A and B are shown apart, each in its own frame.
Chain A
Amino acid sequence: MLLALTGGILLGAVFPSYSDSYSLYGQAFLYILIFVIGISVGASTETLRRALKVLKRDVLLLPLFSISGALFGGIIAGVLTGVPLKISLAVAAGLGWYSLAGPMLSVVSPAWGALAFLSNIGREILSFSLIPLLKGKKGPLVPMAMGGATAMDTTMPMITRFSGEEYVLGALYNGMVLSMMVPLLIGFILSM
């Protein structure tokens, strides 16, 4: 992923006159990606339905608090940095899914795309560092919320280690719901 990004930056720096084409191709692949994500979301509804039957209320409502907290943090960051509110909310709505949030915001401006990419990749890296430090002291839900959309894949092993094996399904559910919400939230916020 970083190789692709670095290669792209080098190509753009060497041949800057094709910037319109880069943006156009990027958007074309974004549409393909969103379509494929939609298929994955539709095909995984059965897993979600099964999770809904067995999970407790605290885990079931966790995505709502993860999203609200991230958006609240986005508003604070927007005030501190002077980034427009709409962009701040869209960056925060990436919920750690940098490979989607970056390109989606690139449609508005490459600079906002870079901001979304960096802040969401940073969120994943910081989660990796902070989840072990917490050692489950702040309850089992905090590591899941920190993982954001990555709770169902990259941060899941750490979440299960520090929240407990019984939270595997909860982490999967939280990651799935947040992953479904990322394209919807960013799309909705940017179209406001």
Chain B
Amino acid sequence: MIYLLLVFSIGILLGLLLKNREREFKGDSSLNVSVILMIFFMGASIGSSEAIRESALSIGLQSLVFLISTLFGSASFAYLWWRWASD
């Protein structure tokens, strides 16, 4: 993960250098292709793991708990902040 953060930082530095040449940088298409290939290989890793296939229901239920609690966590903190800021 340290290497990922390093790669991210190098990207930001390059982006800062390129910021006046946004039209020359065609980042969108490479972003889309990388995302699709990455999702594809993530799917292949998931599909090749028998343990994950067997625990699909449990992962599904866990993700339901996560999506509800993170969404309501963000929403309630934002609501409390809005109430406090508008007083």
Contact = CB atoms under 8 A, between A and B. Distances in A.
Interface string B61-82: 1111111111111111111111
A114 B46 contact: yes
B42 A81 contact: no
Contacts of A55: none
Interface in B46-61: 46-53, 55, 59-61
Contacts of A8: 39-47
Given A8-B41, A42-B12, 12 more contacts: A8-B42, A11-B40, A39-B14, A42-B14, A61-B81, A65-B74, A73-B72, A110-B52, A111-B46, A115-B66, A122-B66, A183-B4
Interface in A103-146: 103-104, 106-107, 110-111, 113-115, 117-120, 122-123, 126-127, 130, 138-142, 144-146
Interface string B6-28: 01111111111111001001010
A73 B37 contact: no
A124 to B, nearest CB: 9
Interface of B is mostly: helix
A117 B42 contact: yes
27 contacts: A8-B40, A11-B44, A11-B47, A14-B47, A29-B38, A30-B38, A38-B8, A43-B27, A45-B15, A45-B16, A45-B19, A58-B81, A62-B81, A69-B74, A74-B69, A81-B61, A95-B70, A110-B45, A113-B46, A114-B46, A119-B67, A126-B68, A126-B71, A127-B71, A138-B75, A146-B78, A187-B2
Interface of B: 1-5, 7-19, 22, 25, 27, 30-31, 34-53, 55, 59-83, 85-86
A7 B40 contact: yes
A16 B78 contact: no
B69 A73 contact: yes
A31 B4 contact: yes
B78 A40 contact: no
Contacts of A46: 19
Contact of B43 (A6, A31, A130, A141): A6
A157 interface: no
Contacts of B38: 26, 29-30, 33, 99, 103
Q: Which one of B22, B77, B79 has the highest number of Cβ atoms from chain A below 10 Å of its Cβ? A: B77
Nearest to B83: A139
Contacts of B78: 62, 65-66, 69, 139, 141-142, 144-146
Interface string A76-104: 11001101000010011001000110111
